[in-house]
Structure 1
């Protein structure tokens, strides 16, 4: 006879809800999608739109990269045929998508029809979707070309699941400058890394990349010399790619170790170097005065022109040079000219003769500041206000996270969330540029957060952005995302130049291991059993995460650059699996526990022997995985419970 089953209450409720919208197979209920960076204003205005298989694209002057993004987004939502038009069609066949800047008539008309407002802020955009008659209408309106490009990236996220919600988004950045400075010591990124990074920056609405690798000899030791033509050709390709992704390529030079400030020939050498990049279309330049001795001159002419060396004299010399170069750039490029500097005193706000002299730099020149220290544990509004006073303008934050080129970061990937930067900093900063790691692709975890914070600091949620970075790398695959979050946790520690990190080691893993130790010390038999089961699950997660990441992360750069850390994590996971087996055996009075613990120690030793990839990281060192947490637990586990000898028996 037929079997019958009781239907759970939640299924009955789901079915009833489906009936309310028509049927169980009706258009899904609209939910507010996750968009990163978090838009300033985003609201649902109606049901999910069925974009169908046909669409008309009304292109009111978008660039090729923006149009390509929109076409890809429509394809992701199931649109198969896309026609183009110059104006709104009277009787559309399928969905109509309008994209252009706010001065285009078709854009203004479409925004009005959907009850929206046009963007009025630089790089801002409006994105609206709804219906016009019986057909879906989507409009992307940029205040300028940059804003329109960002609107297309938002559309890409809205359609990622194959549907399109009815939304009204009004969005614009909180900070004018958002991006990264390739400013670390050690092996510079490859051109391939840089190209991938520019693509990534555009996708997170960052607008600035500063080329400033410390180990590029033609930007520092040989700064007066011209680049080889092959290098210039490769850099020209990067400049062009940056432009396509709406990222400003900024060329930085570090003349401080050898410059003679009062020698016209050295000023002309700087101009020649910048002119080579101006010929490529670069309009943003940078002079680095960091990490130099500023209490001595490099030439006798400076002593004659500027007096005895010292803090004030160095500040005056740097201010005069910066002003000279900025006014020369203005004469060449007008309003497009941009100059940034990083001063020699870049990491505090203490008043000094140097800072007083440096305040003579033209107010239009951006001055960078790293916070209250070289690697600050936090940055507050009060800190930024003090910097504004010290440098005579809103500073541009050089954030030394997630850079890993200093001793305390040896053997680490820094993959904790971008955190402890106070909401409201946009009122006191002109922007944020993160200094990434030697490893470009793993750097994106933190840079994803710094870009989101710089876009909308008051709407920023560090934890949500951290998880969104994992989903980005995982292409939204749930298992790969979970494995990445496991990886991020064991690489969570963020050091400073001091003894105490500003973000702790492996907080999620530590909570689990602390809970196991607590249960073994004070728990009931049932609580001990449950804790050991959690430990086994956690160990399995650690051991299997690397293979899941290798298989599920499409970015080959991430997998290759993370290789020794993934290898070490796998060994540590197996070590914890053996530890869990040892504790479970000891709990049962089984003498085999000793063998499991010995196996755990051997696997831990193998993991600790793995080194960073040669010639890629400064400093080199042994790979660290949840150090101080995982290694300590594996080492101390045999002492948490009585381990019987073979003579004592036990199965």
Structure 2
């Protein structure tokens, strides 16, 4: 769905008592006031059941895992549930399972599998435990009870679902409760769980654009959904041409067999495989032939076991008909499109869905799926579409940052139908440089009461999607108990497989891939440590530990994470995270060395940073078309830390602050304002929407400084119209009072001279009219009138300049075009005479002998020698502060190589 239109729990039970309404008399009576965690093997710590059950309580009794367990079944006990229970018991240490309709001895643990409709023994077993059955629970609800009854020596466990799916979910909960032991004998604290889903339909829709999932990944997803009590998967991959372009054509046998394999795996996991056929690109709504073709195609899919169907009509034009007959019959405009779609869907509903007894409601995706604004199109659907058709809706926005109860009510009202949400999270087809690994967030509690179901659109990366999807499962099962952070911690813990080192590594990696439209803050944990460091409240040791964790996380995950699919999905992001860890550790070391007065060590670290940052930005994601997309990790946190570290060490050196890009507009796909001031024309700021009047882009110079020239280079190849089309250049010292320098119109590149004597801290380009195009700024440069003048010899080599030695930027370097001759020097004339205490000369590490020079200052017209340069870092002190108007580097005699100087800093 995010195509052309878009951009185109865990509850660990504590020792305190839990009061459970309606849990049954013995269960309530058996609740201990100081009980050990429910379901914990004695001495083994707390158990977890996820998603969080609606009601659960600890009992004062227990059950014991015996070597032989009676697994009591009924005539129609669900096979998937039984298979899972047997697997769980064996993992808990049972060596023999006696499966049948009755128990064989009081000295064995008895496990009753199946609700009233599956296994008649479960009701009596629940009565013996004093636990109420599942009769009054919602569909897919269940009761799970474990404890001792009169005459039992080992106890009994009952899994009783309202229906077969409920029993399966009880088995999934039991799987989490029982320990994993090699041998029998574990004693497990008793518990009673009464549980049911808050949201009837819960799951995912494979509806993204971009590289499709593999068959193996889809099969793996079915298992994942079953484990997490999700009950729907909507098959709508964009690579299946028989869903869209070839929707009329029958599937080749091998492709149909692959779909059948998915259906069977879904069924085994109690997941409803939903087939979504999208005819909108070519269908003639009024055509009897096309209606028959549509029904015939759906019949062939029903024949392989599919029982739920959808007809999405999203991401198509409804102003251009595919046949003249539709224009004749329905007219033109949105209302006509709504009428045409309603006619087609009603015919499918009548001829196909209602022709099969017990068929599930037809689903559809409207062309206007992303708001609650009344329109002729929505009115037509509301009035003409059969009322039992479910309408899918993405919320207010294609990617809705929030979704509220009021919005869902408005959607039901404006569409006039029950709503199934198509939630575009964690989908990343509109931001393929990102992994969106944060939790499901911004969805109001109570939303489940307003909608028929919630489906999430996953990422292009199926295995990496699991973390966010785990939290979707938690929310949709029990939104009232949902806590995004707690749910996410549990998801990370689950994927880590109980290994503390892997869990720490996974948390460090996911933290720097956390932000999205739903989760505004990037790297919340690391950001907190960084903030405390800069505020002086946290030690460098704490930050070093956090950055080392980030640096080492990719190695740990690659070697120890069991889910190798996640590692493969995340591979370029893992490479980037490791490199960013190295870069930020180097930046931190630079700052700490500077604080300690180790100038040479700090300068050596500073020189490494550009290469390390370039390495961190180098990894690419290769999409299905072969495009190489640089990945983004820790945006606004890791890069910003390096930038600030450079600024802080620059202060120690005496450098002026470096300009920082800013904007009042949103950002598209990670193209942040800092890219306007990075000196690289290939990177750019890109707004997230069209510019409106008074939107702006600009720079913060860090302090009030002389301003001479302003240059703004906008637009880029492929986006030639993305620039501020009409605006003004302005400057300010306080960010409140602005002074105009020049106006411009229809100029992608704008250059202006500031009036003589201008000083400013802030410079910006501001739009003076609304426009329809977005804004790209490649570079925003401000030159100062007070820049020192550099003259002398040797001349600069091609691509270099003598001015680089005094431009306040250590990244630029003067390189002589030849070796110096006897008596030659480089002279830096200051804009005005000033008191000087130190002169610092910086050269690249490994600079040759041609850099050696005598450093002289001119005081009252007389040159005085301060000392000589010594290697890459030289700081010379004037014993008495002197008023200096020039500095001179007099080259040593006999130099055989050209001089190389990064910066001369007078302070």
- Does TM, scored on the shorter chain, surpass 0.5? yes
Q: Find the counterpart in structure 2 of residue 34 from structure 1.
A: 48
Q: Find the counterpart in structure 1 of residue 73 from structure 2.
A: 59
Q: Find the counterpart in structure 2 of residue 205 from structure 1.
A: 229
Give the structure with the larger strand fraction: 2
Determine helix, strand or coil for the equivalent of 1:441.
Answer: coil
1:623 to 631, 634, 652: 631
| CA distance in 2: counterparts of 1:333 and 1:166, whole angstroms | 45
Q: Find the counterpart in structure 2 of residue 329 from structure 1.
A: 352
| CA distance in 2: counterparts of 1:28 and 1:256, whole angstroms | 60
CA offsets, 1:71-103, max 9 Å, x none? 2221232222222221244x3342111101223
Equivalent residues of 1:98, 1:107 under 8 A apart: yes
Equivalent residues of 2:78, 2:167 under 8 A apart: no
2:216 to 186, 192, 205: 192
Determine helix, strand or coil for the equivalent of 1:138.
Answer: strand
- Establish whether residue 550 from structure 1 lines up as the match of residue 558 from structure 2: yes
Equivalent residues of 2:42, 2:189 under 8 A apart: no
2:148 to 131, 139, 148: 131
2:168 to 146, 149, 171: 149
- Establish whether residue 78 from structure 1 lines up as the match of residue 97 from structure 2: no
Q: Find the counterpart in structure 1 of residue 458 from structure 2.
A: 436
Q: Tell me by how many angstroms 1:620 deviates.
A: 5.5
- Establish whether residue 96 from structure 1 lines up as the match of residue 71 from structure 2: no
Q: Find the counterpart in structure 2 of residue 119 from structure 1.
A: 134
| CA distance in 1: counterparts of 2:521 and 2:549, whole angstroms | 20
Q: Which structure has the greater CA radius of gyration?
A: 2
| CA distance in 2: counterparts of 1:477 and 1:613, whole angstroms | 31
| CA distance in 2: counterparts of 1:255 and 1:154, whole angstroms | 41
Within-5 A mapping of 1:422-461: 422-461=444-483
Q: Tell me by how many angstroms 1:304 deviates.
A: 2.1
Determine helix, strand or coil for the equivalent of 2:535.
Answer: helix
Q: TM-score, normalised by structure 1?
A: 0.90
1:592 to 598, 601, 612: 601
Determine helix, strand or coil for the equivalent of 1:166.
Answer: strand
Q: Find the counterpart in structure 2 of residue 342 from structure 1.
A: 365
| CA distance in 1: counterparts of 2:479 and 2:179, whole angstroms | 25
Structure 1 stretches lacking a partner, 5+ long: 1-19, 496-500, 520-526
2:124 to 109, 123, 127: 109
Equivalent residues of 2:210, 2:623 under 8 A apart: no
| CA distance in 2: counterparts of 1:593 and 1:98, whole angstroms | 69
Give the structure with the larger helix fraction: 1
1:312 to 335, 342, 350: 335
Within-5 A mapping of 1:449-528: 449-495=471-517, 502-519=519-536
Of stretches 157-166 and 337-346 in structure 1, the one that deviates more from structure 2 is 157-166
Q: Tell me by how many angstroms 1:63 deviates.
A: 3.0
| CA distance in 1: counterparts of 2:591 and 2:625, whole angstroms | 39
Equivalent residues of 1:370, 1:398 under 8 A apart: yes
Distance 1:27 1:195, change over 3 A: closer
Determine helix, strand or coil for the equivalent of 2:621.
Answer: coil
- Establish whether residue 352 from structure 1 lines up as the match of residue 375 from structure 2: yes
Equivalent residues of 1:594, 1:643 under 8 A apart: no
- Aligned-CA RMSD value: 2.1
- Establish whether residue 601 from structure 1 lines up as the match of residue 610 from structure 2: yes
CA offsets, 1:469-490, max 9 Å, x none? 1112111222211211111110
Q: Tell me by how many angstroms 1:27 deviates.
A: 6.9
Q: Which has the higher contact order (CA 8 A, sep 6+)?
A: 1
Equivalent residues of 1:44, 1:166 under 8 A apart: yes
Q: Tell me by how many angstroms 1:462 deviates.
A: 0.9
Q: Find the counterpart in structure 2 of residue 14 from structure 1.
A: none
Q: Tell me by how many angstroms 1:28 deviates.
A: 2.6
| CA distance in 1: counterparts of 2:99 and 2:59, whole angstroms | 27
Determine helix, strand or coil for the equivalent of 1:327.
Answer: helix
Equivalent residues of 1:416, 1:503 under 8 A apart: no
| CA distance in 2: counterparts of 1:221 and 1:291, whole angstroms | 13
2:314 to 277, 290, 299: 290
Of stretches 452-461 and 213-222 in structure 1, the one that deviates more from structure 2 is 213-222
Of stretches 41-50 and 351-360 in structure 1, the one that deviates more from structure 2 is 41-50
| CA distance in 1: counterparts of 2:179 and 2:395, whole angstroms | 37
Distance 1:160 1:388, change over 3 A: farther
